[in-house]
Amino acid sequence: MAVIQFGNLSDFSASCHETLLENLSQDALAQTCQTLEVSSSVNRDPVAIDVWRLDTVCQRASGNKYFKQALYWQLAAQYPDLPLLSFGGHYSNHLYALAAEAQRRDKALVCVLRGLHQGELNPCLSDLESMGARLHFVSRKDYRNKHQLAYLESLKQQLGSFICVPEGGGQLIGAWGAQAIGLAAAKKEASTIVVAAGTGSTAAGIVAGLDLAAARSRQAGDSSAVRRVVIVPVINLHTEDGQQSLSEEITDLRRQLAELNSRQCDMLLEENCANAVNWQLLDGFQFGSYGKFPAELKMFLLEFESRFQIPLDPIYTAKAMAAVWSSKNLATRASLPQANHNFLHADEKVLFIHSGGLQGRRGHGLF
């Protein structure tokens, strides 16, 4: 009986999975960009924003989840008889994507859900069950122990042995897969990339993928454009005692990925690419806290969708797009927070990463 966890550098070699990373990068490149032509509310100058539709990469395991979960699946193949077990809320994009792929692979999955439940299942939970996942509801108090080995052992006693995939499918393995987005982004023209962040693993992977692309260019004797990643947190940035901040998490994951990728490139990527790739947090667009969807954000989402026919999810991409709108002083009827700094200049073209999560719209009455 065992609890299998992945996440240490010793678990895998970057070179062994290079083909997977390149294939994922090609999948990202295959998704279209929609260019939005909008005007500033200040001087009416035209502004161009490219929306990279990664939400279209897969019908159910869409957006960043498609990339973050890829290596977990490859590693899990070492244990064909063990089910996967992972964590999430009652409208979790992560669990939804994981269940869809588990169904496709005929792999058992246990979803440990935050909060006890009575009555009918919501649409997301119904989908999880119909895709073959086993639903295991726990109290919010118990759920907070999801990172503790003793709690995982107690789940093993109740549910049997399993392969543990962390909440959100993040950490090092998830960030490794998100590098594919950064590698593909390096082939785009935009110098500034905007992405929403929860745990920070997607953002860290994108930065590390850009690092790797810059290192490869140097090895080939080519120059690489300076890239900037603007990360919009959708969680409040204060931390509890003993927890890493979002900034620390991104920095640490980038460092670990640089160490892995240095085995392919004869250089320490983080140090050598610091001038080619930089990132910043654009704070102030949490709209209360994670999961909140206040009236002003709903007004912005509905106005945006009516104008451009691009659906946004209320938890991640709507907040990140609101940050773009505010920072570039673009006209809207919605009352948006003011960007504390001029992160996005009026004349620069932005590549906005649409990270999917659209099934979560159902939790806020959006269909």
Measured distance CA(109)–CA(92) in Å, rounded = 14
Model confidence pLDDT, tens digit, residues 168-196: 998 999 999 999 999 999 999 888 999 99
* pLDDT value at 40 more than 90: no
Which residue from 301, 335, 333 is spatially nearest to 318, judged by alpha carbons? 301
Using 50, 70 and 90 to split pLDDT, how confident is the model at 159? Answer: very high
Domain 9-59+171-364 and domain 67-169 have a common topology: yes
Model confidence pLDDT, tens digit, residues 219-242: 888 877 778 999 999 998 876 655
Which residue from 62, 132, 137 is spatially nearest to 99, judged by alpha carbons? 132
Domain ranges of the chain: 9-59+171-364, 67-169
- Top CATH class, 67-169: alpha beta
Measured distance CA(132)–CA(263) in Å, rounded = 40
Instruction: Calculate mean pLDDT across residues 86-97.
Output: 95
The three state secondary structure string of 254-266 is: HHHHHHHHCCCCC
| CATH code given to domain 9-59+171-364 | 3.40.50.1100
pLDDT of residue 219: 80
